[in-house]
Homo-oligomer: A and B are copies of this chain.
Amino acid sequence: MSQESREEAVLDAIGERRELVNDAIDEHLPMAEPKRLYEASRYLLEAGGKRLRPTVTLLVAEALADVEPLSTDYAAFPALDRSGSDGSGDATAAGSDDAGEVDVMASAVSIEVIQSFTLIHDDIMDDDDLRRGVPAVHREYDTETAILAGDTLYSKAFEIMLRTQAASERELQALETLATTCTKICEGQAYDVGFEERGNVDLSEYLGMVELKTAVLYSAASAVPGMLLGADDDTVDALARYGRTVGKAFQIQDDVLDLTVPSEQLGKQRGSDLVEGKRTVITLHARDQGVDVDSLLDADTPEEVTEAEIDEAVGVLEDAGSIQYAEDLAEELVEEGKAELDVLPDNEARQTLRDIADYLIHRGY
């Protein structure tokens, strides 16, 4: 297939699962009392989002089980040792309960709920006004409600992960992954905030931060279905690495998009990272090339900056080769990630996971 038709296939795969994921979000996180809290908790989830991470989770389950995409109920997905398609002999590690059918959709929802919690709290910390084209939760409601909405999603994610019906030992492994993943995301965000006040961040520190802040959740999204369905340790590890590398690539591409995609399409002001003095692969590379990154834009807030000023700044970064450098790095990571998928049976779901990796760095927004 050509790159264009592969991108179309990815968008189809995401689109076909998005409604299912949205329905499951509604089911697992229904409106409740107190209303204002649950409205605020559900607000960003209802505002949209591509559901990339849940899609990865569902596709990994399908690839592992070697089933036709969309042929199997995600809420009652056959464990590998039950269907006999894997034969990893892992059954003895399972608890005494029936581990035959696993609600992988619940795990997918849990991870999307964590993603939403981090967005809400990050927007407070970064004082960002817009998210997914709508006001951030602390703008639409207030900071108190936004803190609480994030906190509510946090525990709900654990409640939802507890509903997979997987064998107890596997369930515990997934919960441990969820907990350590959340801790790492907090650490990553702390580094990110800290970097804004430091002049001497280097690229490896930056990439370490990205791994913690962004990549670990992709890693969980792809490894957790492996754990729940009873894949062997090597497979789970490879899946975790797939998520981690493509998650890093995703964040690097996000930094590229922040500079190159029109604000309306981005759902927030273009160039906001630059205005806020965020370190990115791009600015770190440019600085190494002798560009005075901190003087690229004069404005103090994203609202003050003009499109022309951003164009000029982007021009400087392009001339320094910094945008190309970031794109090349993302490409490299994606190739690395795709190779990890060789542990999976050769099937359509696996191909779509490869295509998603490509899509993450070729997407327009």
Q: Which residues of A contact B (CB under 8 A)?
A: 32-34, 36-37, 92-97, 121, 124-125, 143-145, 147-148, 150-152, 154-156, 158-159, 162, 168-169, 171-172, 175-176, 178-183, 186-187, 189-191, 193-194
- Of B32, B124, B172, the residue contacting A168 (CB under 8 A) is B172
**Chain B nearest CB, measured from A81 CB (Å):** 14
**Chain B nearest CB, measured from A265 CB (Å):** 28
A37 touches B168 (CB 8 A): no
Question: A95–B96 Cα gap in the complex (Å)?
Answer: 6
Question: A143–B95 Cα gap in the complex (Å)?
Answer: 43
Find the B residue at minimum CB distance from A186.
B152
B121 touches A169 (CB 8 A): no
Question: A236–B288 Cα gap in the complex (Å)?
Answer: 62
B151 touches A186 (CB 8 A): yes
**Chain B residues within 8 Å of A158, by CB:** 158, 175, 178-179, 182
- Of B151, B154, B156, B172, the residue contacting A162 (CB under 8 A) is B172
A125 touches B147 (CB 8 A): yes
- Of B92, B93, B125, the residue contacting A144 (CB under 8 A) is B125
Q: A33-B187, A36-B194, A158-B179 are in contact. List 15 more A-B contacts (CB 8 A).
A: A34-B187, A34-B190, A37-B186, A37-B190, A95-B96, A125-B143, A145-B190, A148-B189, A152-B186, A154-B154, A155-B186, A158-B158, A162-B172, A168-B169, A168-B171
- Of B95, B154, B175, the residue contacting A95 (CB under 8 A) is B95
Question: A147–B120 Cα gap in the complex (Å)?
Answer: 11
Find the B residue at minimum CB distance from A182.
B155
Find the B residue at minimum CB distance from A161.
B179
**Chain B nearest CB, measured from A143 CB (Å):** 8
**Chain B nearest CB, measured from A40 CB (Å):** 9
Name 6 interchain pairs, CB-CB below 8 A, sorted by A: A34-B187, A95-B96, A95-B169, A156-B183, A162-B176, A175-B175
Question: A156–B183 Cα gap in the complex (Å)?
Answer: 7
